[in-house]
């Protein structure tokens, strides 16, 4: 088999065949550097790392240790790219580790400019406040207008796409945009099971604990924390990605690589691959 053939994968989706260019993947994950700059939000401490010390052992070859072995402290929701499931809002501890993920999904990458909430009739709970900016159903509908109906995942790049998204303290004013209730309903109504965004949350960061957008996407009634109310148990939300400017909007194959981690969320590394009809 030639090298060229070995770096292509043929898949069938919704009755059509596609070619995935497996050698041209682009990671959307923000590398988590516990010794350098990193994004953070909701007042969480930055991720940190220190050599393991156990008895007379020190896990640092620079300090005379036999090998390097570090203890890492991280808050997945707040320290970088992560994927979460319905367990983020349920009383029962539903683990992202138990979500059944496919090797590849057909995804649409779209760039969206947030709208001033005062100029939109779209809603959230609590109601948008002065200065809030929304990812609206109107904007998503326009961005997805040319996407076929077989999309399983949507990757939202917000504009402007400032590079400091990779190291930003998201609690510094102004607060980041968030998805309207209608935007989340549009995605779920279209059959989208996986949503990826460069924002720290699909909901307003200070929203009285409502997490309205999360519940809409997971198919739950407002305020519910019951696992039995989850209508979309296989849905996932991935936050704090970064989409390079060089990656054009369009259809891709998505590999949603989630750490084998028992918890409501886990660090992840989503990768987009060029996709074209076979």
Contact criterion met (CB below 8 Å) for 224 and 56: no
pLDDT in tens, 125-138: 999 999 999 999 99
Handedness of CA 197, 193, 259, 42 (dihedral sign): positive
Q: Which run of H or E residues covers position 217?
A: helix 212-217
pLDDT in tens, 228-241: 999 999 999 999 99
Task: Say whether the peptide bond before residue 67 is cis (omega within 30 degrees of 0).
Answer: no
Tell me the domain boundaries of the chain. 3-33+81-277
* Nearest of 166, 154, 224 to residue 193 by alpha carbon: 154
Report in angstroms the alpha-carbon separations of 133 from 145, 158, 166, 178, 237: 22, 11, 20, 7, 20
Domain 3-33+81-277: what homologous superfamily? Putative cyclase (3.50.30.50)
Q: Label residue 6 by pLDDT band (50, 70, 90).
A: low
Average pLDDT, the chain: 95
* Nearest of 155, 115, 159 to residue 137 by alpha carbon: 115
Q: Which run of H or E residues covers position 105?
A: strand 105-112
């Amino acid at each position: 088999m030639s090298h060229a053939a070995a770096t292509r994968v043929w898949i069938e989706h919704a009755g059509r065949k596609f070619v995935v260019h497996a050698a041209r993947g682009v990671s959307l994950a923000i590398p988590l550097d516990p010794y350098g700059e990193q994004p953070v939000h909701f007042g969480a401490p930055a991720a940190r790392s220190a050599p393991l010390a156990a008895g007379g052992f020190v896990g640092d070859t620079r300090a005379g240790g036999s090998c390097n072995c570090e203890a890492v402290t991280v808050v997945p929701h707040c320290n970088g790219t992560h994927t979460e499931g319905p367990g983020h809002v349920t009383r029962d501890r539903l683990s992202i580790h138990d979500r059944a993920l496919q090797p590849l999904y057909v995804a649409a990458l779209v760039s969206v400019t947030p709208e001033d909430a005062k100029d939109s009739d779209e809603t959230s709970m609590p109601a948008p406040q002065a200065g809030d900016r929304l990812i609206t159903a109107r904007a998503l509908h326009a961005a997805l207008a040319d996407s076929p109906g077989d999309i399983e995942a949507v990757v939202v790049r917000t504009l402007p796409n400032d590079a400091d998204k990779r190291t930003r303290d998201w609690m510094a004013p102004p607060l980041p945009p968030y998805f309207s209730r209608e935007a989340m309903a549009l995605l779920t109504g279209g059959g989208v099971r996986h949503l990826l965004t460069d924002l720290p949350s699909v909901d307003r960061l200070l929203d009285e604990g409502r997490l309205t957008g999360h519940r809409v996407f997971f198919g739950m009634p407002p305020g519910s924390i019951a696992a039995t109310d989850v209508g979309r148990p296989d849905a996932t939300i991935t936050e704090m990605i970064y989409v390079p400017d060089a990656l054009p909007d369009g259809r891709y194959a998505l590999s949603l690589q989630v750490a084998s981690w028992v918890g409501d969320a886990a660090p992840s590394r989503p990768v987009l691959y060029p996709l074209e009809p076979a």
